[in-house]
Structure 1
Amino acid sequence: MNLSDLNNLDLKELAQAPTTIKAVAAAFIILLIIGLGYYADWSPALTALDTAKQEEQTLRDTYTNKKRQAINYAAYKRRLADTEKALAALLRQLPNKSEMDNLLADVNQAGIGRGLEFDLFRPSTEASADFYATLPVAIKVNGGYHDLGNFVSDVAKLPRIVTIHDIEMTPGKNGKLAMNATIKTYRYLDESEMQTKDSGKGKGGKK
């Protein structure tokens, strides 16, 4: 039997059709049912499964990003804590306003302790920065080369922050050397000074 025989077959005669025709017809009906079932039931289910997989991947990506952010945030907090500790240590090296006279006395004593003679020790006007003030002090001292070098080293070793700038060496008295320089001392601004400074900024920013 060929395909034309199957096409010409009357359904009423299917019961009397040969076994081969019955088998082909049964297979065709089964395939038709499977195809209809796929499109009716399985196709939406497979689409929903694909959607669920995509949502799962999105959630995994979101979780990975959040985890990475959490790790970075923890590292940021550690760096911030380290910075705050460093700032606190720096502030401990800055005297307050009432301690500035003692600091200047320490600088003067460092020179005297090395046998130097001060011709000039003149504090200038303070200059304020973010949270601290700088006080330049113009000095002129006479002494031997090594004594002057030791004086500079002693000033650098003071527990408070003191820096030396614009050093100029010239012949001094009695065959010694004269050193002209600017010493800068630093102190932190107290709360009232910070408030005054911030208030001044606010007024300056208004039009």
Structure 2
Amino acid sequence: MAASLNDPRIQRYVVVGVLIVLATAIWYFRMYSPKLEEIKNKESQLEELRLKIHEAKLKVETYDELKREVMASYYKYRALESLLPLTQSVPEFLNHFYIAARNNNIYLSSLTPEAANQVDFYFVSPYSLKIATTYHGLGGFLADVANFPFIVNAGGISITAIPSATEDLSINVDLTLYTYNITESQRMPPPHFEELPE
């Protein structure tokens, strides 16, 4: 028995099959295709968000490490800053100078304070000295100056022999000692860190 399209039962099967294909095509083109594009867009957005989350986690780790480094650097800065007094303390400098000179048999001919100069964020106060001593005394004096509780540099050292040298005095020395100080407004404030959002 051959199937004939004139058979109403076959016609129903064909119509139902065409309706199923038509409904599937309508569903695919009207519902599934637009949603497929939306799904692809959402997947790419999800991937971007995952990438941003990963970068944020790395930044948080880096931020904490940088925060520790900044604080360590700040503490080192504070330690160095303690060597720069807030004001030019001439009496303290002269007291330390006198002790260093006395301990090393330094004979002072002249001590001339000069005008302080501002360099970057600090002030330099030069003191011109003329002293008489021995090489050993000069070395001990400069070593003591280097160990003052604040920064002092020596420069412009000129040494001449004394013609009638004795055991206590064999050289004349012209030199300049430089002391440094900083103003309160120039001091670095402690670092401020904003908390990262959770």
Q: Same fold, TM exceeding 0.5?
A: yes
TM-aligned CA distance change 1:90 to 1:97, over 3 Å: same
- Structure 1: gaps (5+ residues): 1-8, 195-207
Rate the CA distance shift 1:24–1:169 in 2: closer, same or farther, 3 A: farther
C-alpha contact 1:167 1:182 (8 A) present in aligned 2: yes
Alignment of 1:30-179 (within 5 A): 31-97=21-87, 99-129=89-119, 131-172=121-162, 174-175=164-165, 176-179=170-173
Q: What is the identity, as a one-letter code, of the residue corresponding to 2:76?
A: A
| Aligned equivalent of 2:190 | none
Instruction: Evaluate the alpha carbon distance shift between residue 173 and residue 115 of structure 1 in structure 2; reply closer, same or farther with a 3 A threshold.
Output: farther
Tell me which protein shows more helix as a share of its residues.
Answer: 1
- The structural deviation recorded for 1:79 is 3.1
Is 1:189 the counterpart of 2:187 in the alignment?
no
Residue 142 of structure 1 contacts residue 173 of structure 1 at CA under 8 Å; is this kept in 2?
A: no
Distance (whole Å) between structure 2 residues aligned to residue 174 and residue 116 of structure 1: 17
Larger radius of gyration: 1
Q: Deviations over 1:9-46 (max 9, x none)?
A: 9x5x26587xxxx9999877655543332212221221
Q: Partner letter of residue 106 of structure 2?
A: L
TM-score, length basis structure 1: 0.70
After TM superposition, the score normalised by the length of structure 2 is 0.73
Please report how far the alpha carbon of residue 136 of structure 1 lies from its aligned counterpart in structure 2 after TM superposition: 0.2
Higher RCO (CA 8 Å, separation ≥ 6 residues): 2
Alpha-carbon distance between aligned partners in 2 of 1:161 and 1:74, rounded to the nearest angstrom: 34
2:72 is paired with a residue of what secondary structure?
Answer: helix
Q: Distance in 1 between matches of 2:55 and 2:163?
A: 72
Tell me if structure 2 keeps the 8 A contact 1:100–1:187.
Answer: no
Relative to structure 2, which stretch is displaced further, 137-146 or 32-41?
A: 32-41
How large is the RMSD of aligned CA atoms in angstroms? 3.1
Instruction: Report if aligned partners of 1:136, 1:183 keep a CA contact under 8 Å in 2.
Output: yes
> In 2, Cα distance between the equivalents of 1:16 and 1:117?
133
Q: Which runs of 5+ in 2 are unaligned?
A: 187-198
Q: Tell me, in whole angstroms, the C-alpha distance in 1 between the residues paired with 2:50 and 2:117.
A: 56
- Give the 3-state SS of the residue equivalent to 2:89 in structure 1: helix
User: Residue by residue, what CA displacement relative to the aligned partner does 1:58-97 show, whole Å, maximum 9, x if unpaired?
Assistant: 2122223333333343333323322332232223223343
